[in-house]
Amino acid sequence: MQDKLIFIMQGLCAFSCFWQFVEYKALQKYFLSIAEDKNFLIKGHLLKLFLSLGIVASIFLFFDMRASLILLGLYFMMNSLLKSSFNGGSDYMTLLVVMGLALISILPHPKLQQMVLLYIAIQTVFSYTIAGLVKAKKQKWWTGVAIAEILNSKNYSVPLSISKMTPNKALMMGAGLFILIFELSFPLCLLSLTSLKIYLVMAFLFHLLNFYTFGLNRFVWSWLASYPSLFILISIL
């Protein structure tokens, strides 16, 4: 089962990385504007090269896990070049899975590979729980004000069908409470295989809704790529 889950993770990660580098390529000028370096021309050529190599390496990752080693090197070189953490959570999750696959590709023993998968699984659980704890400290999340403010933010092109719901305070409060309860209770997914499947379906739908509402499409694939590791974790509990 472990080999099958690693294979699934590899494919999902390949798709996530491919999508990520394609988006970076489209946002190349923006990344250069935050690079804080006067040598614009050299950085422009280097970034273009890294992004192109990233797309190619992502495609190769579908067929060979060792391509994750190349991707890992590219991520660190791009981070150094741009002096930026890219897009926060989604990029962290992608990097986490890429690092895991890179280690698995060079570790010969299944037990060592399992340890890597367990680390990814624990970090995945923490990613939801910590997000919930951070939100829980803010009164705005309990009252629904935070949801309304995010939906009305000019940083996102929120569909009219969603934004017109913001005046409904009861609905906003319900949405905020649902997110808080879901994220804070995420460790309960490890109670049984059934609970894990339920939580992963809810998580996937949650990320899909974020994609529809805010256009955060990378969040879907970044977290989805980590889900196979959770089946390894629950199998040993």
* pLDDT at residue 212, as a whole number: 87
* pLDDT at residue 82, as a whole number: 67
Band of pLDDT at residue 35, cut at 50, 70 and 90: low
pLDDT above 90: residue 49: no
What is the enclosing helix (H) or strand (E) of 138? none
Band of pLDDT at residue 19, cut at 50, 70 and 90: confident
pLDDT above 80: residue 110: yes
**Could you give the 3-state DSSP secondary structure of residue 23?**
helix
Band of pLDDT at residue 91, cut at 50, 70 and 90: confident
* pLDDT at residue 61, as a whole number: 96
pLDDT digits (tens, 9 = 90+) for 52-86: 899 999 999 999 999 999 999 998 888 777 665 55
pLDDT above 80: residue 179: yes
Q: How many angstroms separate the first and last alpha carbons of the chain?
A: 16
Domain boundaries, the chain: 2-236
pLDDT above 90: residue 101: yes
Band of pLDDT at residue 140, cut at 50, 70 and 90: very high
Rounded distance between C-alpha atoms, residue 75 and residue 148, angstroms: 35
The per-residue pLDDT of the chain, averaged, comes to 88
* pLDDT at residue 21, as a whole number: 87
* pLDDT at residue 32, as a whole number: 62
Tell me what the mean pLDDT of segment 151-171 comes to: 87
User: Quick one: what percent of the chain has pLDDT higher than 70?
Assistant: 89
Nearest CA to 203 among 185, 134, 191? 185
* pLDDT at residue 215, as a whole number: 79
pLDDT digits (tens, 9 = 90+) for 193-206: 999 999 999 999 99
Total-model pTM: 0.89
pLDDT above 70: residue 34: no
Band of pLDDT at residue 157, cut at 50, 70 and 90: confident
- Yes or no: say if 212 and 100 are a contact pair by the CB < 8 Å rule: no
Tell me what the mean pLDDT of segment 185-190 comes to: 96
Per-state percent for the chain, helix, strand, coil, to nearest 5: 80, 0, 20
* pLDDT at residue 30, as a whole number: 64
Rounded distance between C-alpha atoms, residue 223 and residue 219, angstroms: 6
